[in-house]
Amino acid sequence: MLDYVKLWVVVTIILRDVLITVLRSYAMFRSKPVSTIYLARVKTFFQMGSVYVVFAFLLIEEFAKEKGTTFAFIEYLKNVQFIDKLMVIVVLLTVYTGIKYFFHNKAHLTSFLKACYHLIVPSKSKS
């Protein structure tokens, strides 16, 4: 709404996290361990950190508006599109870790996709 973070960034992050959560839930349902990667923790750190950065921008800008001033550092960061660049890093980490996550858990993914296929296309019974 405030145009700090583009919609496609938010959709990408949410979509990846929903897909991973569905796969994890399926693996838990089957009582099978899920392989995680360290880089996913780094991704989470960047995601959470970027939320704080955006909130800080909002707070500082609101404070400046109330005081009728601007802060040169904030204006500089806006001019160099700091938040957009930070979001590109977050999206790259998000997509990369999502792909790696599926690769490391391809047995779960394959099993899940087969289960989904059989829900959609029932097996033909031979009579």
Q: Burial, 121: exposed, middle or buried (Cβ in 10 Å; 0-12, 13-18, 19+)?
A: exposed
Tokens of 38: 């360290």
List, for residues 34-43, the tens digit of each pLDDT value.
777 888 889 9
This prediction has a pTM of: 0.77
List, for residues 19-66, the tens digit of each pLDDT value.
988 888 888 888 877 777 888 889 999 999 999 999 998 899 889 999
DSSP state string for 90-123: HHHHHHHHHHHHHHHTHHHHHHHHHHHHHHHSPP
Q: How confident is the model at residue 1 (pLDDT cuts 50, 70, 90)?
A: low
